[in-house]
Structure 1
Amino acid sequence: MTADFDVIIVGSGPAGVSAAFPLVAAGKKVLMVDGGNSPAGELPRQPFLAAREYDQEQWKWMIGSDLHALGMHDAISPKMRVPAHAKVFSEFNAANYINSENFVAIGSLAQGGLSNAWGCGVARFSSAELEEFPCLPSELENAYRLVAQRIGISGPKADDLSDYFGLDSWSQPPIAMDALHEHMYSRYEKHRQSLNGTGFRLGRSRIAVLSQDLGRRQGCNNQGNCLYGCDRGALYSASTDLAALKLFPNFYHQTMVVDALRQGDGHWLIEGAAGKQVKSISGSRILLAAGTLATTRLALNALQLQQSVRLLSCPTAAFVLCLPSSFGAARHTGFGLGQLSFVLSLRDDIHVLGSTFATSGLPISEFVNYLPLRRRYGVDLLKALLSSCVVGNLFLPGNLSDNHVSVDGTGALHIKGGFKEETGELLKTAGSRLRKAYAQLGAYMLPMSFTPAKAGADIHYAGTLPMRINPVPGETGSTGELFGLAGVHVVDGAALPLLSEKSHTLTIMANATRIGERLAVGYHCA
């Protein structure tokens, strides 16, 4: 019996669309399914600070007609309070039967997945990191290039992080920094030698944001609306690629939350809810790109593997820096994502990556609850203070996490989060050393602002079904094919054999592209 499709891809996020392009180009009949949520809502049309002052209907994009932001006061990230992002995060855990203990579990049922509301940080894994991958480095090198050129990346042509990020040859010019970041960077250039001696390096952030027009997308115009949604399309989202894929006559897209995989008459079946109906669709091959958590649940249930497997995530923390030289200055609209990034070497085998962001695109309410003052006085203080502040984050390598997942007899996925014993001390050391490094840049970490996050809050999930040269049950081969389930391939973060401190999205996309290319030319499809 002939399958309905040559390939079915579960998920339309960065991994899914990246795997789809080479398959569709090769003429394969491809179906992509996702939860169907469409990010919607009002977007600001003026520069952020101007809109905050003059837009009489700003409540629509700040709070939402259903008061969404007010109901999300406990959310771990301000992104989750944005009305336009409500559909990005909603219903994921319930639809995928995911529950967690001491772990922040986040995913998306939206078209384009979590790339609708991400930080856009990108990096290549180093040669040493890629040694863990069961493929030729040249395969990933070519895939990195294809993805970078498709999505658009901005960054400088040379600085102290050029080798670390490895993307300069494919990048557009960097987006202009604000005055605070310009000040810190000029101070860094004066103190580079001493700071490098302590293991601290600073450079421009590499981000999947356009500084120049690319296709129908427009370059960033520094209006500061990054958190609330860019009406120019400067920030990359996989939903843009999904729209491009829909132009191919052999590509099909359908709303469906996949509940299970079944083997049929010489092919595979996906089963799940499509609206109010339960459907079953067949494919010669299934590519799982539903996000690490949902993919892991589907794979472990299909394997009937109830043993616990490790889930990698990056221990993370946030902090606030104040530049006294700018205290009381007027706030100016500027770019809202990472402007400068740092790398801090804690040991030869442990590095920290972080970035700093302007506060000009964030409402004061995001900070006032962290002050030891009544809200009324806190607002007054922050009006003067925030113009001299930037916020920062940092990430440690994923092998310092200690998370485990398993499925039970009902098919639900259970996540138990934690960290390795040494992680707390490493975070404390990182905070102390960053405090000293930034002081040389004229930026002082506010007391009590250095805040480690719960396990999973990084949303850098990976490694549950790692690729190996010689896989065993619960692992995958060089094309992401699950051991014991011929024809089922994992192409998202679940297949990564390691998770460094770097953003892993670009590597996920490159690996998915590589697997798509291999399946397009090296395997027979019905």
Structure 2
Amino acid sequence: MNIAGFMVVGSGCSAAMAAQTLVDAGADVTMVDVGIDNPEYHSQVPEKDYIDIRRNEIDQHRYLIGQNAEGVVWGHVGKGAQITPPRRHMIEKVDTYLPVRSSTFSPVESLGYGGLGIGWGLQCWEFSDADIRAAGLDETRMRDAYEVVAQRVGISATKDDASPYTIVDLKTYQPPVNMDRNHQRILNRYQAHKNYFNKRGFVLGRTPLALLTEDMDGREKYAYRDMDYYTDNGRSAWRPWVTVDQLKGSPNFTYVGGHLVTRFVERDGFVEVECLTIPQHEKRVLRCRTLVLAAGALGSARVVLRSMGESHTKLPLLCNPYSFIPCVQLSMVGKEVERKKLGLAQLSLILDEERGKSGFSIASLYSYQSLMLFRLMGQVPFLGFSDARHIMRYLMSGLVIMGVHHPDKRSSKKYLQLVGDASSPVGDHLDASYVLDQAEKDEFVRRERKYIAAGRRLGIYATKRINPGYGASIHYAGTLPFSDRDQPLTLSPSGRLHGTQDVYVADSSGFNYLPACGLTFSLLANAHITAQKALKHER
């Protein structure tokens, strides 16, 4: 009977980081994953900048809008609208194997090789001390883990007004990426009127990214091709699969693809892990000494609910409310578009009126070019496609997207529960509810209006405010919350699932609070810590 030492479920951000910690410690590690990939698209995208591709590449439609125009979204902008054809494998088969039923919550999940990290926006924010405590994490261990993660993935950042909210005291980082003219003008206006913004609770600074500006470990520094949503040529952006690919060269690491973990059963001295093979739909049982679930807050919740016989039990749910606000910088309208630029977030505008470094909101600022203008044309009021196309092309060099995230805390109106479903190949689906209290809605609208007003002072003018629906932030947490008490469906501070001996959860399931800042950097840090504790079998 073959029994793995440690079995890590998934290949996303948390799984990759936990697996690296275990492998580096010399443990015998097996990663079990569905691992859908799309190598055909990877080879189609040339190593050229976006402007060159648009002007010269005959087959550009294949990867910009898709062979069957699958990348074209018109009308309502909802979840996954930003996922381009070369990355749509990220959400392939999700509706079949990870079904969710809800009228109030529409999540994005992944069975892809690299999980949701395939399309991660690369923002690397540390939680503040107050937010670390609110989430149920340990401040000292998290600060140490942030350094470890930064050394592994490579982060570009700088010290500025925003760094107390972004990189805090991080020591390991490369120089920041170069800003385009759009964002440099915004930053210049902020610096000229800093007192005005600070008095109103705003600070502005560079966005830290898991993106290299210097070569590192066989990965190339960023080339400013503005193709960040289509390709990872050069691997300057860190993706989970980058780490998993590296781990495959280790003698103590085994990757098992095509397997969806559905449940586990603890036996005397080992854990049985039940899987469904995809696409064969055959049941298979694998075994390990210690199981590390890292399938995401929703995926791990499914596995635990089935395994613990807790169908219909409601689990809490956290998700950052999110809106985005297309803006125009009038001084840039009609200017020649830049060839060398970054498509990811370049600036972050933080609204912390209490100055307590907790409970604040964050707006990430992006230029809008390579994601294709049709995604915004449908949002231009009272205009058809033809008129909108001409107007948006003229405005393109001055377009800025302000993506606003708000914090989230637990409430009785935000929950998940597992419901039997004979039509599903896994035998069930998740019912989800995500409803904000009216006071929360009013507060977030107030903050977004304040952002719009601040934007005008920065020289960017909002065209409208778009709410893509709850779940569109792709930030989920809190389904199996940390607890010092041995309660069912909670985690001990070590990450061990209460009621088990050798099952740990290394993703965001344990977080008791979700700050507005991107959670991925903290996911990676927590996964590293959980793996360390699993190695020591901390209870």
What secondary structure does 1:164 align onto?
A: coil
Please name the residue that 2:269 is paired with: 266
Per the alignment, residue 342 of structure 1 pairs with: 349
Contact residue 83 and residue 119 of structure 2 kept, 8 A: no
Moved more, 474-483 or 133-142: 133-142
Q: Residues of 1 paired with 2:520 and 2:277: CA distance? A: 28
How many Å separate the matches in 1 of 2:194 and 2:228? 30
Partner of 2:335: 329
Q: 1:19-168 counterparts in 2 under 5 A?
A: 19-40=18-39, 41=41, 42-70=44-72, 76=78, 81-132=83-134, 136-156=138-158, 158-165=159-166, 166=168, 168=170
For 1:175 and 1:240, the matched residues in 2 are separated by: 21
Aligned residue type for 1:240: V
Partner SS, residue 477 of structure 2:
coil
Residues 261, 271 of structure 1: 8 Å contact kept: yes
Indicate if the aligned counterparts of 1:204 and 1:341 stay in contact, CA closer than 8 A.
yes
Per the alignment, residue 355 of structure 1 pairs with 364
The 8 Å contact of residues 321 and 473 in structure 2, kept in 1 or not, is answered as yes
Does 2:498 align with 1:483? yes
Deviation of 1:215 (Å): 1.1
Q: Deviations over 1:184-242 (max 9, x none)?
A: 10111010011100001100011111111111211111110011123121111000000
> Against the structure 1 CA distance between its residues 78 and 297, is the aligned structure 2 distance closer, same or farther, given a 3 Å change threshold?
closer
Tell me by how many angstroms 1:300 deviates. Answer: 1.4
- Using the aligned pairs only, state the percent identity: 25
Residues 74 and 374 of structure 2 are in contact (CA less than 8 Å); yes or no, is this contact kept in structure 1? Answer: no
Aligned residue among 363, 366, 389 for 2:375: 366
Match of 1:404 among 415, 421, 426: 415
Letter in structure 2 aligned against 1:431: E
With 126-135 and 217-226 compared, the bigger mean Cα shift is at 126-135
TM-score normalised over the length of structure 1: 0.94
Residue 527 of structure 2 is matched in structure 1 by 512
Take 1:422 and 1:189, find their aligned partners in 2: how far apart are those partners? 34
Note if contact 2:155-2:208 (Cα within 8 Å) is conserved in structure 1: yes
Shift in Å at residue 45 of structure 1? 2.4
> 1:227-279 CA distances to partner (integer Å, 9 max, x unpaired)?
11231211110000001111111111101111221233432111122242321
- Please state whether the residue corresponding to 1:451 is helix, strand or coil: coil
Kept in 1: contact 2:410–2:512 (CA 8 A): no
Aligned-pair CA distance for 1:420? 2.4
Deviation at 1:138, TM superposition (A): 2.2
Q: Is the Cα contact below 8 Å between 1:155 and 1:174 reproduced in 2?
A: yes
Q: Which position in structure 1 is the counterpart of 2:404?
A: 394
Give the whole-Å Cα distance in 1 for the aligned partners of 2:324 and 2:21. 39
Separation of aligned partners in 1, 2:245 and 2:77: 30
Unaligned segments of structure 1, at least 5 residues = none
Partners of 2:198 and 2:363 lie apart in 1 by 16
- Alignment partner, residue 477 of structure 2: 462
Partners in 2 of 1:36 and 1:341 — Cα distance? 33
> Distance in 2 between the 1:53 and 1:264 partners?
62
Question: Do the aligned partners of 1:44 and 1:225 also contact (CA within 8 Å) in 2?
Answer: no
Instruction: Pick one of 283, 287, 302 that aligns with 2:292.
Output: 287
- 1:14 matched to 2:21? The reply is no
Alignment of 1:415 with 2:432, yes or no, is: yes
Distance apart, 1:79 and its partner CA: 5.7
Q: Which amino acid aligns with 2:524?
A: M
| Further displaced range: 336-345 or 13-22 | 13-22
CA distance in 2, matches of 1:6, 1:452: 45
Instruction: State the Cα distance separating 1:26 from its structure 2 match.
Output: 2.5
Q: Which runs of 5+ in 2 are unaligned?
A: 421-426
CA RMSD of aligned residues (A): 2.0
**TM-score normalized with structure 2 length:** 0.92
Alignment of 1:186-265 (within 5 A): 186-255=188-257, 256-265=259-268
Following superposition, the deviation at residue 162 of structure 1 comes to 1.1
